[in-house]
Amino acid sequence: MSLNMVVYLDNYGFSLTNYMIGILGMILILAGIRTRSLSYVTCAAIFGIYLLFLIHKTFFPLYISGSYADIMKASPFMVGVNLIPFKFNNASDLYSVVRELALNLVLLMPFGFGIRFLVSFRTKDVLWLALAVGCSIEAIQLVISLIIGYPYRVIDITDAIMNTLGFLVGYGFFRLFSGLYLAITHRLKIQPIGLGKYIYTIAHRATDQQNSGDPHFDGEVIKTP
């Protein structure tokens, strides 16, 4: 999938892709200066690239004005909004329904898996974080739609639910990965270095935090080569 974030004004499109990549680059440079950790920056770069594709998939293309926007503005606003969970107006068969649910589930699984390598949070806050992130996409789409005057994307509560579940599934995979990584490392008596050491530390702290119940246990930045 190509990365092309296009905004259309009066049928003329311009891309924000290079600007977004530049912003990501500056964030990575600042993260490197702050943490002095190549391993942290590596994880941040991988997560940042994923976020760029997530933004591309969920918010672009964006038609602010032009013939397409004029046609869409002529339709009732609520035609593009669904506030009833698991109501599939546009799905013609079971395959389409399952595919739509699966795509929204998978969309935020990398987020749930990867965020713990960058940000510390208490295990008991995972559900609230999943709800916030899972609902944010539809909320932002709604805000943009209100600003430009028409629902440029289908705003669906079902999507928010599946995004939230996707985050939780991704975090569940992170917990499973952490346990397996620690078990294999201990079993084989491996002394991890570099990125491996960083991953080991994150996995170990996440496990110890859950066991200890200390909300501040894993709050410090890890510095590794």
At residue 214, does pLDDT exceed 60? no
Express each pLDDT in 129-140 by its tens digit.
999 999 999 999
pLDDT per residue as tens digits for the range 91-123: 668 888 899 999 999 999 999 999 999 998 888
Confidence band of 219 (pLDDT split at 50, 70, 90):
very low
Task: Find out whether 43 and 119 touch, Cβ atoms under 8 Å.
Answer: no
Residue 95: per-residue pLDDT: 85
User: Residue 84: is its pLDDT beyond 50?
Assistant: yes
% of the chain beyond a pLDDT of 90: 77
Distance CA 52, CA 34 (A): 22
Nearest to 26 by CA among 4, 48, 43: 48
pLDDT single digits (tens) 16-37: 999 999 999 999 999 999 999 9
Residue 102, sorted as left (phi over 0), alpha (psi -120 to 50) or beta, turns out to be alpha
Q: What is the mean pLDDT of the chain?
A: 90
Q: Quick one: pLDDT at residue 91?
A: 62
Closest to 160 in 3D by CA, of 130, 138, 132, 129: 138
Q: Report domain extents, the chain.
A: 6-212
The first and second tokens of residue 52, run together, are 């760029």
Which pLDDT belongs to residue 92?
65
CB 123 within 8 A of CB 214: no
- Tell me the pLDDT tens digit for each residue of 175-212: 999 999 999 999 999 999 999 999 999 999 888 766 55
